Amino acid sequence: MSYRIEAATKEEWAERALSGEKKLADLKDSIKELFSLLDATEETDEGQGCECGAYGEHECGCGADWTPREVYELRDEVTVLRKALNDIINGVQH
């Protein structure tokens, strides 16, 4: 009796570990994509609202926001992915 319960639990665990691994792989892909997007946006600083005619953030003296909008969006995505990663890690450990 107890053996059958244990066996089912083991199967369940294996399934859980497998789905966790798959989620983790998906997450890794998402994070890789995220980093490549961040790299791409770093080269396209917009300098929105810059009034001093600077060519880059370091030259700017008027305090304009040189962070591309995409970076804010990607940061939000990082938060979501980090939470997903935590859920997976916790799910695997419990």
Give dist(CA 82, CA 88) in Å, integer.
10
Residue of 31, 34, 38, 64 interacting with Zn ion (CB under 5 A): 64
Show the site string, 40-59: x = touches Zn ion by CB under 5 A, - = not. ----------x-x-x-----
Size of the site for Zn ion (CB under 5 A): 6
Examine residue 17 and tell whether it contacts Zn ion (CB under 5 A). Answer: no
- Assign 45 to helix, strand or coil: coil
Integer angstrom CA distances of residue 79 from 22, 50, 64, 73, 90 = 20, 29, 25, 10, 16
**C-beta closer to Zn ion: residue 50 or 88:** 50
Kindly list the residues in this chain that would bind Zn ion in the complex (CB under 5 A). Answer: 50, 52, 54, 60, 62, 64
